[in-house]
Structure 1
């Protein structure tokens, strides 16, 4: 009876927090497969069998924050810090545009210095000029003053991803220092500022943190829906040895469980928010070959390929064992072919804006 009840809930896509906890805790593979199937059907019905492709540019690994889970944290003095030479990143963007890319995700550590702010402003302007003002530009550069967000928006950025990492304030302060620089409330306010300025606004969480449980994850889903975001980037927590959180590695769920739970979270979110953009993250591929494809088959509709110049990529390590490829464009082409062979249409040359945003 319980299985039928959960199947009915999945079919309806209308969940209470207790329903979500039950689905996340279910160990019956048949029910999981039903969940993935229903999420895919909802994605196909509202968005189509389309996968929007973004080029990822990790422009700087310098960071002023000290998050306990991240290999780029300011306290990790073993990191070779960099900011990609501006002319070098522009040449990469030109090559990407010639290759068919018009969507870019610009990612960095959190910096608020004037030099960095001007770098991002100039970069947004250049991307739009190179692409004939057709580009979709997602920034993921952390918390900034509202006026900085506005300046970047006016320079051509149109999407912003600011991950909350967990919606539970107590858990938040288990994975961040409890001080002004790492304020939970400031993170929420930054998301509100982004929405008010006019960005397609995104957030996300980590799945499988030490101390996390199904109740936390269910509440994360409810929180994301309550925020009414336009896009989500979430994935499994993966350890980095040079972080304080690594000391709690014995508390972690097995990798296979984190992988499976992430697929469930993708599917549940798709059923709850039918027309948002959901990315299948690189961390899934780190756990399992074909991990990102599994995310697409569970309801996601966005993929990012790392186009950062090769000499920098090994120094942008949020977690250990991040894959690095000698030829990012060849890797992207190969993976796009794999996704296409699985019955999806991969699109590099359309904006792929969030329908949820467009229909507001």
Structure 2
């Protein structure tokens, strides 16, 4: 069997080599993490960029089998921030020198929703004198809608594929016109054609998922030539259809470890993209996000949603930091990031170097 050190010296990995890296343990795992940390340091440095996360609504038109805010969950306490509440959160990010915000909400479509996002983009640009970068994460839309939002000021878009394997995709989503694998894939191409920095990601440790699936996901992201990635461990939610498969899941610690290895391997495969350290990591390990920063991630998304709403944007159980206000989150993360040996890139958009190189 080829030594891990030989695999790590390659510029490109085969599917089998990725599977081997994802299965690594002990000294091999340590070698993987040491290599990905070195590649991160050499290519994107030790700067961590903040994206102030505004979870502005948990009203969703989709019924994904893994998600706590799915349309069919009648137990979810629905909310929708006012424009003023969203703008106040954006103002906090601006005054705190975060550099960027993320507007994230349930997936909705329609002219009223399109106009609202368009209006908010203009107003966020106005209140920050154009200095706040804006990422959107509000799901599948038409190419025309993506164009309107891009022209209004958004320049990054995160649309997680959740699984790049069509068969697995339909095991975790309804098989209907509202949950089309082909449409989600097309949306990613539309975003790229419109001019966005494009991000996607997957859940790690899903029911029915294998390391072969995960290797395919990494190869998919490489082939799509993404600019940024947000992925993390799958954490089950009691009010979802996938809850019945909870006894078949990897232990939480194994899902966490696999998520770290996915981040490390992706950093080796795509050296200059932005990789987010997902909040779900902290739901399993108190210093989970810091561990991800050490081995490859370079983006953190402090939650700046008003505290009263945070517990209701519950995609999964045990979501951390729901009892904090924005300033608490900022102070906590500053200490954590410095503890991880990184520095915060304040007042910077922190755009993907990969995007800049390609363009």
Q: TM tier, shorter chain? A: over 0.9
Residue 336 of structure 1, aligned match among 334, 339, 355: 334
Q: Give the Cα separation in 1 of the matches to 2:102 and 2:279.
A: 13
Residue 202 of structure 2 corresponds to 205
Residue 49 of structure 2 corresponds to 52
Whether 2:212 is the aligned partner of 1:215: answer: yes
Residue 357 of structure 2 corresponds to 359
Shift, 1:143, TM fit: 0.2
Tell whether the 8 Å contact from 2:37 to 2:294 is kept in structure 1 after alignment: yes
Residue 346 of structure 1 corresponds to 344
Whether 2:267 is the aligned partner of 1:270: answer: yes
Residue 235 of structure 2 corresponds to 238
Tell whether the 8 Å contact from 1:325 to 1:331 is kept in structure 2 after alignment: no
How does the TM-score come out when normalised to structure 1? 0.97
Count of residue pairs brought into register by the alignment: 357
Residue 158 of structure 1 corresponds to 155
Residue 194 of structure 1 corresponds to 191
Residue 19 of structure 1 corresponds to 17
Residue 33 of structure 1 corresponds to 30
Residue 306 of structure 2 corresponds to 309
What's the secondary structure of 2:3's corresponding residue? Answer: helix
Residue 255 of structure 1, aligned match among 249, 252, 256: 252
Shift, 1:11, TM fit: 2.9
Residue 63 of structure 2 corresponds to 66
Encode CA deviations 1:302-332: one digit per residue, 9 max, x unaligned.
0101100112111100001112132222222
Q: Give the Cα separation in 1 of the matches to 2:11 and 2:323.
A: 39
Shift, 1:13, TM fit: 4.2
**Which segment is superposed worse, 31-40 or 322-331?**
322-331
Whether 2:137 is the aligned partner of 1:131: answer: no
Q: Which runs of 5+ in 1 are unaligned?
A: none
Whether 2:79 is the aligned partner of 1:82: answer: yes
**Which segment is superposed worse, 199-208 or 5-14?**
5-14
**Which segment is superposed worse, 32-41 or 229-238?**
32-41
What's the secondary structure of 2:119's corresponding residue? Answer: helix
Shift, 1:122, TM fit: 1.2
Cα RMSD (Å): 1.1
Shift, 1:10, TM fit: 1.4
Encode CA deviations 1:202-229: one digit per residue, 9 max, x unaligned.
1000000000011000111001100001
Q: Which runs of 5+ in 2 are unaligned?
A: none
Encode CA deviations 1:95-128: one digit per residue, 9 max, x unaligned.
2211112200110110003222222111111111
Encode CA deviations 1:129-179: one digit per residue, 9 max, x unaligned.
122112211100000011111111011000000000001100000000011
Divergent runs of 4+, >6 A? none
Q: Give the Cα separation in 2 of the matches to 1:161 and 1:210.
A: 23
Residue 10 of structure 1 corresponds to 8
Q: Give the Cα separation in 2 of the matches to 1:105 and 1:95.
A: 13
How does the TM-score come out when normalised to structure 2? 0.97
Residue 317 of structure 2 corresponds to 320
Q: Give the Cα separation in 1 of the matches to 2:150 and 2:161.
A: 21
Tell whether the 8 Å contact from 2:93 to 2:100 is kept in structure 1 after alignment: no
Q: Give the Cα separation in 2 of the matches to 1:104 and 1:96.
A: 7
Residue 295 of structure 1, aligned match among 289, 292, 296: 292
